[in-house]
Structure 1
Amino acid sequence: MNTSSKTRVAVNGYGVIGKRVADAVAQQEDMELAGVSDISADWRARMVTQKGFRLYGAASEQAQAMRDAGLDVAGTLDDLLGASDVVVDCTPKRVAAKNVELYRQKGMKFIVQGGEKHEVTGHSFVAEASYESALGRDSTRVVSCNTTSIVRTLTALKHAGLLRRARGTLLRRATDPWESHLGGIMNTLVPEPEIPSHQGPDAQSVDPDLDVITMAVKVPETLAHLHYWAVQLTRSADTEEVLDAFRASPRIALIRMADGLTAINAVKELMADLGRPHDNLYEVALWADMLKVQGDELFYGYMVDNQAIVIPETVDAIRALVGQVRDPHESIAKTNAALGIGAVVDALGGR
């Protein structure tokens, strides 16, 4: 039984998302990282123990392999779940869906990531849109990086009473940066074969009222995604009113080409200069000086860090499932303060 006021969080899977979730959870004053479970006994597992986190093998075989590699292993995933209140599954696509049966058998609250289908949990999560409907649930799915950005930006317009319908084109990075040597695409562009691409319907799993259609193409780079959007507003508006709508979201950072942020690599360099771990861009980085409004039509573009944008959402999803923080604004503020979200705006003079 947990006698601490802190929520004990297990992270299952220590890859691109898992390691960032573990770091973020460890920074929250109302959470305790119970430990990390994985199948690997290589350098990634060594990073777990080097950071002082408790390491667990996914099963006894993996735990023994870790011990044979000289790692300090606390036990197996079963042991970790027994010492936790909620588990965040960051295992590869479709693996998490299989793990769900174990979590349910143990009566565990759990979170899966956007690689799984909405039906796995019956609930899809973006803090600014669906926090309250996640309160006290047994499980939720934090949607993908691109879907998170879509819901954040369109929700900002919706809250301002400006959103009628939205049509977006996504330029998608080919693979995660650390896996560039394993594959990807080179000297070509690969269109997704269906319109709409899956991100539009996925956004509607968070908010069914969104009138949104997306198209997507994979491009030969790994830094981030780039979105272009054409939105019909509910009425004519001016540029400043639209920018104010985006400013009202605590997880949208308005950036400017006039500041030298003319490409996604420059924005990543800014994250490094800000001292963000892994150069994480948690916000949607939206170019304010590229945005155009013509009557009731809005056009804009933004950047999505595929490795980082879902991290604050995952932290908020933990609070929602546990139910100790019932106000989404309070949870978002806690998470943002712990992760330094807002520093981009501060670094650019508060714009």
Structure 2
Amino acid sequence: MIKVGLNGYGTIGKRVADAVLKNSRFQLVGIVKYTPDYSSKMAFKKGINIYVPPEKWRDFESQGVTPKGTIQEFLEESSIIIDASPSGKGFANLSLYKAAGKPAIFQGGEKPEVAELSFSTYCNYDEAVGRKYLRVVSCNTTGLLRILCVLHKEFNVKRARVLVIRRGADPKEDARGPINSIKLESVEDVSHHGKDAMLVLPNVKIISQAVVVPTTLMHVQYLDVEVATPVIKEQVTEVLSRYARILLVDPKKTGLDSTSKLIEAARDFLRSRNDIYENVVFENSILVSGNSISLIQAIHQESIVVPENMDALYAVAGVKLPLEKVVEETDKLLGIGGLKDVF
């Protein structure tokens, strides 16, 4: 059993921790926490080991949380680290992992230079196997690459233009905005999503722009994709429907025409934390004309990267399974594909 340590227990970290706990191939050593907040107490009550800086030990004990050990002990006991700390902190942690000789998986909030490879399962899993340091790309980039790599495999994508309509904050982030505005994400030129995606798909020209809107539920993306040869809509929908992590939804038949309704459906389906691991593609939005494919998809930013983090674990650990089996195990573990039967 491969021992996994998790540095960070926020939006992504707590979801990844739950996924690791479900997988019999891996053992969750514990999590690193720096502040004895409510999430520390909840993790402690769930029986998750908590490792802290030595100088914070008494602070945790005063809140009823007995640490398992120090960060140094955490590093010694872990075989692989998943770093889910706040953006920028992972790069600072890299030297700790290198000094301890531990491989690590980082998140998309870090600069690409933090790892040997920016990772997206459908695109470059085989290239990731055996690497010591991987970076799972951001939520929006993960959703973008899933679609593009599937289309590229089948139809040879030449270029893509993307408009990302970003949620303003995660539900708990009450200090972020905007509150009553739609704001350009970047005043430079293009957004980082296309640049990040081209690290994984270097032969495809991807241009992305983004706006930030006052909602907390999901991102929405509009994609305009040019492929090598003419296609028809039926070909596109048939290809997308083969993949469990891509969920085609017909708003006319289901009534699911908004992000709020999608989250409510996930609640009704009893998904943990209302998580939607799949790209939700609105089927009526798929328009095909000659070599051009356009579509609109919704991306649940809190959970979309969890499957890729699990796949990255398989790759770094060198689990001897082909890509199809790795994806199958992760999808089954998280219940991915079950919503297809409902929608």
Fold match (TM-score > 0.5): yes
Give the match for residue 199 of structure 1. 193
Q: CA RMSD in A?
A: 1.1
| Match of residue 335, structure 1, among 323, 330, 333 | 330
Which amino acid counterpart does residue 99 of structure 2 have in structure 1? Q
**Residues 284, 303 of structure 1: 8 Å contact kept:** yes
SS at match of 1:319: helix
Q: How does 1:130-209 map onto structure 2 within 5 Å?
A: 130-179=124-173, 181-191=174-184, 192-209=186-203
In 2: Cα distance, 1:134 partner to 1:246 partner: 24
Deviation at 1:250, TM superposition (A): 2.6
Which amino acid counterpart does residue 186 of structure 1 have in structure 2? I
In 2: Cα distance, 1:162 partner to 1:289 partner: 23
In 2: Cα distance, 1:61 partner to 1:238 partner: 63
**Residues 6, 81 of structure 2: 8 Å contact kept:** yes
Deviation at 1:188, TM superposition (A): 1.0
Give the match for residue 23 of structure 1. 18
SS at match of 2:162: strand
Q: Deviations over 1:174-214 (max 9, x none)?
A: 111111x2131121111121332110010011221222110
2:238 aligned with 1:244, yes or no? yes
SS at match of 2:41: helix
Give the match for residue 95 of structure 2. 101
Q: Deviations over 1:266-315 (max 9, x none)?
A: 11111111111111110100011221112222110000111100001001
Q: How does 1:238-277 map onto structure 2 within 5 Å?
A: 238-258=232-252, 259-277=254-272
Q: How does 1:1-351 map onto structure 2 within 5 Å?
A: 6-57=1-52, 59-179=53-173, 181-191=174-184, 192-258=186-252, 259-348=254-343
Deviation at 1:166, TM superposition (A): 0.9
Number of aligned pairs?
341
Query: Runs of at least 4 residues of structure 1 off by over 3 A?
Result: none
In 2: Cα distance, 1:113 partner to 1:62 partner: 25
In 2: Cα distance, 1:267 partner to 1:87 partner: 33
In 2: Cα distance, 1:63 partner to 1:199 partner: 39
**Residues 66, 73 of structure 1: 8 Å contact kept:** yes
Q: Deviations over 1:19-68 (max 9, x none)?
A: 011011111121111111111212110111121111111x1122331112
Deviation at 1:122, TM superposition (A): 2.5
In 2: Cα distance, 1:262 partner to 1:299 partner: 17
Give the match for residue 3 of structure 1. none
Which is further off, 160-169 or 11-20?
Answer: 160-169
Identity fraction in percent: 33
Which amino acid counterpart does residue 152 of structure 2 have in structure 1? K
SS at match of 1:137: coil
Deviation at 1:71, TM superposition (A): 0.8
